[in-house]
Chain A
Amino acid sequence: MSADLGFWTLQALNALQLSMLLFLLSIGLTVIFGLMHFVNLAHGSLYALGAYFAASLAAVGGYWAGFFLAPVAVAGVGVLLYSGLIKRMRKSGPMAQVLVTFGLIFALLDLTRIIWGDLALAIEVPALLSGRVALLGVEYPAYRLFVIALGAAIFAALAFVLGRTQIGAMIRAGVDNDAMAACLGINVERLFFIVFCVGCALAGLAGAVAAPLLSVTPDMGLQILIPTLIVIVIGGLGSLKGAIAGSLIFGFVQTFGAVLAPQLASVLIYALLAAVLVIRPVGLFPAKG
């Protein structure tokens, strides 16, 4: 029975680790959508870029150089995208945005292939986190625990910034009613820009964190995109609560589904999404009631 319990603990930790990775990605996407009503399908490509930057930087300056600098580099790419494309696409309908960012996916996919080649890259887990840790009766890789802790820390930091600081209040006001916020003297444009860059940086961070766990390939952005979209649609667009709830639901359904009903696992999550959309078309915790 104790072995059984250990097995479930292990699965729960796996689910938690997947959830946290998805949370890092979906929070950027969801707040960008909530604030700017902009659907950025290229968010997954930014995550892939983050992984590639991390791989290149890790080869030069070790893992931590990649970990800290990759998000900065991806935020830089975000600045370019924002001033080049996204600023002009803000007022268009969702279909035009979906298409432009779909074009960006194509373009970024091939750019990564041109720069880094088709072969998968790998990063070593840093020495500090390479061991295993005994936790709740199971041995668990320290690096995966680090991912969980990082996700929780980012969640706590974002909850604090959004809920307790002035800039958080401004962002919430912008999500709720951007015209009114602008009338009250908030520079909504600049706010958009900052949020977009932070979202990009978080996507880059997710890429850098995921790089040692998965292999770094050009299509990793496409693979993560659908789960991320599912997370934000289940959770409800634009809210921190929705992103964390959606990530946890996805992580646990996916992991435990694979254990309990392997044939149905992949269909299960899509069925759940369809059910959420039918019953609550705006998701579980939408930013606007």
Chain B
Amino acid sequence: MFRHTPLRYAALVLLAAAALFQALTADYFGLEILTEILILAMLVLALDLVAGFGGMVSLCHGALLGVGAYGYAILTTKAGLAPPVAMGAAVAVTGIAGWIIGAVCARSHGIYFIMATLAFGQMAYSYVFEAPIFGGDDGLGGIERLDLTLIGLDLNDSRSFVFFCLAVLGAIYAACVLILNSGLGRSFCGVRHNEQRMRALGLTVWRVKADVFGLSGMIAGLAGVLAAQHTMYISPGLLSWTVSGEALVVVILGGLGTLVGPLVGAAAFVMLKHELSALTSYWHLVVGCLLIAVVMSRANGIFGWIEARWGARLERRLADTTRKPDPEEVMSDA
């Protein structure tokens, strides 16, 4: 179950303040990086929802992002739908795709679940790569952004687009918290802790898993729609399994199952990537070593480490005795 600790609130306020400050003051390049962080943050929130709280470590979220992006691109450029309608439809399609994948894979666990989601992701990737309607490996261009001039926001301006993404990310975060605190979310967390007991309590386990996976797919799809609007051009690389792998890396670097952690992870990952690629073209080497170090240290990512260090002290001072799952438990459960 997800709970906001004072530390989490503090981190959220800090992150939001930093993002707002950056959005108001940064130049064009800074704004582009911020948009990249915000879109990655949406994707990793979707992944953290299923991986961190339900133990469904998915390697198909990159593909779900791609489905959203391609859905939006096709519906606006080929079918000629208005952007708001196309956005809704693309998110719905991704949600359905996520629900189906979740339902089919619900029986698999551990490494088999990872492999099964990987298979679905690769299926989507190779289909998009080969099908002529999706432009093959040339990708698709000429994608419009949403028209929000009615409320005085011109999204073709990158500063306005950043504010729009920030608002969407805020809404997604709130939606994740709502989902986790709803009956569905609580059942989902229960399934991770003890699937058999939940079944004995009369819960249809696969339905719960599929429902949350579908919701997570919708979020990933929305991230994809915004990614397509951001770059205005998409290529099959968006669906590749390395995107899903990177999203998982970000969740782990940030802190699995904390919702706030992945946001920290997304910001740290994108900035690290840009700083390092300015210095050397071998930034993968650094990220790889960092990932190995984080996983071997057995801390639950950056934010998990901070929580373990300072969260407990804060907690004690506020005399709250509700127990948090420790990172070891979360890591070994997947």
Contact = CB atoms under 8 A, between A and B. Distances in A.
B27 interface: no
Interface string B278-296: 0000101101111110011
Task: Say what secondary structure dominates the interface of chain A.
Answer: helix
Contacts of A109: 284, 288
A212 B317 CA distance: 67
Given A100-B292, A111-B285, A274 B104 contact: yes
Given A100-B291, A266-B126, A106 B284 contact: yes
B332 A282 contact: no
B270 interface: no
A99 B118 contact: no
Contact of A222 (B112, B242, B252, B291): B242
B285 A107 contact: yes
A274 B334 contact: no
A176 interface: no
Interface string B306-334: 00000000000000000000000001111
Nearest to A108: B288
Contact of B282 (A102, A114, A278): A114
Contact of A98 (B114, B129, B332): B114
A267 interface: yes
Interface residues of A, number: 42
B117 to A, nearest CB: 10
A93 B110 CA distance: 8
B104 A233 contact: no
B201 interface: no
Contact of B110 (A88, A94, A103, A105): A94
B116 interface: yes
B331 A102 contact: no
Contacts of A95: 57, 114, 331, 334
B205 interface: no
A233 B131 contact: no
A278 B122 contact: no
Contacts of A113: 282
Contacts of A230: 119
B139 to A, nearest CB: 17
B127 interface: yes
Given A100-B296, A103-B289, A107-B292, A94 B114 contact: yes
A151 to B, nearest CB: 24
B153 interface: no
B248 interface: yes
B163 interface: no
Given A93-B332, A103-B289, A222-B242, A85 B296 contact: yes
Interface in B241-258: 241-242, 245, 248-249, 252
B111 A99 contact: no
Contacts of B122: 226, 270
Nearest to B290: A103
A281 B107 contact: yes
B291 A102 contact: yes
Contacts of B111: 33, 39, 94, 98, 237
Nearest to A98: B114
A92 B292 CA distance: 13
Nearest to A91: B332
B123 interface: yes
Contact of A229 (B108, B115, B248, B287): B115
A144 B119 CA distance: 29
Given A100-B292, A226-B241, A270 B119 contact: yes
A270 B126 contact: yes
A274 B116 contact: yes
Given A106-B287, A226-B118, A99 B126 contact: no
Contacts of B120: 270, 274
4 nearest A-B pairs in the assembled complex, by CB-CB distance: A106-B288, A107-B288, A266-B126, A103-B291
25 contacts: A33-B111, A92-B332, A94-B110, A95-B331, A95-B334, A96-B295, A96-B332, A98-B57, A99-B248, A100-B291, A102-B245, A102-B288, A104-B292, A108-B288, A111-B285, A113-B282, A114-B282, A222-B242, A233-B119, A263-B130, A266-B127, A266-B130, A270-B120, A273-B115, A277-B112
Interface of B: 57, 104-105, 107-108, 110-112, 114-116, 118-120, 122-123, 126-127, 129-131, 241-242, 245, 248-249, 252, 282, 284-285, 287-292, 295-296, 331-334
Given A95-B334, A270-B120, 15 more contacts: A39-B111, A92-B295, A93-B110, A95-B57, A103-B249, A103-B287, A103-B288, A106-B284, A106-B285, A106-B288, A274-B116, A274-B119, A274-B120, A277-B119, A278-B104
